[in-house]
């Protein structure tokens, strides 16, 4: 394999690796016919990210001879190749990525100004193909926004915040920090409302609310902001993953994040009630004024429900799958999920897909609680099921 990246694309590659490092500790590298795939998954397998750089992204792109090759390596060591992101653009003219299978080395050579050459030889491990199962095209709720909008949104949330909930109605989107039940009385709740016309594209099919990790979103924002690419967001119901993606003619990035799930009952309720459209009268609002209707609407944007179980995205390793055809894969995933529930954990996994599937049972919620909420994040729960 040999890839040559030149000019501004070096920085794009570096930023991509940087945002992948927000997901997991390892970088999965797979040169494919349709481009170079860089992937990462977090340890609890609740977040997965993939960048595919098309052959046209490179000024030269060749595949390893005669056989499929894939490997993984510590993402930190790859990050260190592109350490100083700020000066990278000015100093690096060209980046060669070359595979030396004899020595088991992946070599990054940076051609800098004044004929300076920086060579990094990174060792790697062979790996299975890492491929998450998701179907973004099948999602009912689809949004696209300029990165600035989301950057200005997440800035209102503290860096320490782990999870954020996103709710939608026909023409609004709410961001809200997710607070654990026991911390409710102490924690500050922040809520931000965006109107549909701030988005480039706003299509709502179901009035749902999903909760996912903010860290990975911030990771993608770093990439999207520097490349100026709009971010698309796809989701369905709570429990099924949210997909955040950036696309361009020569690259595609998909971040797949597990979401918290409600049980069916609350989901129905959520759906039929049309979450934020029917606010109760304000309890103690002092004055009438223009901003209040929004505030009231936000108060009730979380419809009551009893959280029960969480599923998360399924990451599977098909032995030989080049570019994924996501829509055909979806129904496999559903079968897989059903099977998983009945299958004894000791049995060997399904032959076609090896799924790392996880979930958790939430403590049932007290009926006395005035405000419902969904409460355990999938990423915390992998141990419970495996």
Partner 1 sequence: MKFRGKIIDIACLNHFSRVVTTIAKLTKTCVLRLTPDNLFFVLSGKVANGGVSMWCELSQGNFFDEYQMEGVSSEDNEICLELSPENLSRALKTVQNAKSVKVKLTKKHCPCVTVSAELPTLSSVSRVVTHDVPVEVIPRRLWHELKEPSVPDFHVSIYLPPLKTMKNVVDRMKNLSNFLVVEANLNGEMNLKIETDLVSVTTHFKDLGNPPWGGGSEGGADPEGMAEARVDIRRLQQFLMGQQVTPTKAMCNIVHQRILHLVVLHDDASLQYFIPAVA
Strand ordering across the sheet containing 105-112: 60-62, 2-6, 92-100, 105-112, 117-123
- The H or E element spanning position 172 is strand 172-177
Q: Cα separation of 309 and 161, whole Å?
A: 22
Is 200 or 264 the residue whose CB approaches partner 1 more closely?
200
Residue 356 has a CB neighbour count (10 Å cut-off) of 17
The minimum distance between CB 211 and partner 1, in angstroms, equals: 16
- Residue 299, interface with partner 1 (CB under 8 A)? yes
Could you tell me the CA-to-CA distances from 340 to 119, 191, 259, 346 in Å, in that order? 46, 37, 19, 11
Binding mask 185-214 for partner 1 (x = CB under 8 A): xxxxxxxxxxx-xx----------------
Is 284 or 383 the residue whose CB approaches partner 1 more closely?
284
The minimum distance between CB 368 and partner 1, in angstroms, equals: 13
Tokens for 27, please give them: 């970088």
Stretch binding partner 1 (CB under 8 A), from 86-94, 179-187, 264-272, 303-311: 179-187
The minimum distance between CB 286 and partner 1, in angstroms, equals: 4
The only residue of 56, 117, 278, 371 in contact with partner 1, by rule CB under 8 A: 371
Helix (H, G, I), strand (E, B) or coil at 339: helix
The only residue of 68, 101, 180, 285 in contact with partner 1, by rule CB under 8 A: 285
Helix (H, G, I), strand (E, B) or coil at 18: helix
Is 179 or 242 the residue whose CB approaches partner 1 more closely?
179
The only residue of 117, 155, 278, 323 in contact with partner 1, by rule CB under 8 A: 155
Tokens for 114, please give them: 């004044």
Is 23 or 168 the residue whose CB approaches partner 1 more closely?
168
The minimum distance between CB 205 and partner 1, in angstroms, equals: 22
* 105, β-bridge pairs: 100, 123
Is 172 or 326 the residue whose CB approaches partner 1 more closely?
172
- Residue 334, interface with partner 1 (CB under 8 A)? no
The minimum distance between CB 209 and partner 1, in angstroms, equals: 16
- The H or E element spanning position 51 is strand 47-53
| Four-point Cα dihedral 174, 175, 177, 178, nearest 10 | 70
- Residue 184, interface with partner 1 (CB under 8 A)? yes
Positive or negative: CA dihedral 51, 57, 59, 63: positive
Binding site for partner 1 (CB under 8 A): 152, 155-156, 158, 184-195, 197-198, 283-287, 291, 294-295, 298-299, 370-371
């Amino acid at each position: 394999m040999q890839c040559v990246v030149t000019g501004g694309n070096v920085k794009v590659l570096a930023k991509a690796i940087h945002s992948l490092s927000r997901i997991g500790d390892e970088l999965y590298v797979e040169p494919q016919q349709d481009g170079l795939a860089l992937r990462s998954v977090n340890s609890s397998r609740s977040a997965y990210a993939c960048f595919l750089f098309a052959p046209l992204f490179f000024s030269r792109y060749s595949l390893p001879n005669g056989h499929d090759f894939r490997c993984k390596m510590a993402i930190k060591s790859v990050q260190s190749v592109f350490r100083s992101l700020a000066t990278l653009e000015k100093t690096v003219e060209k980046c060669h990525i070359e595979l030396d299978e004899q020595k088991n080395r992946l070599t990054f050579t940076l051609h800098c100004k004044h004929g300076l050459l920086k060579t990094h030889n990174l060792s790697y491990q062979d790996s299975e193909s890492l491929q998450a199962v998701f179907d973004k095209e099948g999602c009912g709720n689809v949004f696209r926004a300029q990165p600035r909008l989301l950057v200005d949104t997440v800035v209102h949330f503290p860096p320490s915040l782990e999870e954020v909930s996103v709710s939608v109605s026909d023409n609004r989107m709410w961001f809200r920090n997710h607070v654990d039940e026991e911390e409710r009385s102490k924690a500050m709740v922040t809520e931000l409302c965006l109107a549909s016309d701030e988005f480039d594209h706003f299509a709502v099919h179901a009035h749902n609310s999903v909760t996912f990790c903010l860290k990975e979103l911030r990771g993608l924002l770093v990439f999207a902001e520097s490349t100026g690419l709009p971010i698309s967001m796809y989701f369905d119901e709570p429990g099924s993953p949210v997909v955040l993606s950036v696309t361009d003619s020569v690259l595609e990035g998909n971040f797949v994040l597990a979401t918290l799930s409600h049980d069916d009952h609350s989901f129905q309720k959520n759906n039929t009630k049309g979450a934020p459209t029917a606010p109760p009268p304000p309890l103690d609002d002092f004055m009438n004024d223009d901003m209040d209707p929004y505030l009231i609407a936000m108060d009730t944007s979380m419809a009551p429900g009893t959280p029960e179980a969480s599923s998360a995205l399924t990451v599977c390793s098909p032995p030989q799958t080049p570019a994924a055809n996501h829509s055909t894969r979806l129904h496999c995933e559903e079968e897989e999920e059903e099977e998983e529930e009945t299958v004894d954990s000791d049995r060997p996994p399904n032959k076609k897909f090896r799924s790392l599937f996880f979930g958790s049972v939430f403590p049932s919620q007290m009926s006395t609680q005035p405000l419902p909420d969904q409460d355990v994040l999938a990423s915390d729960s992998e141990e419970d099921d495996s």
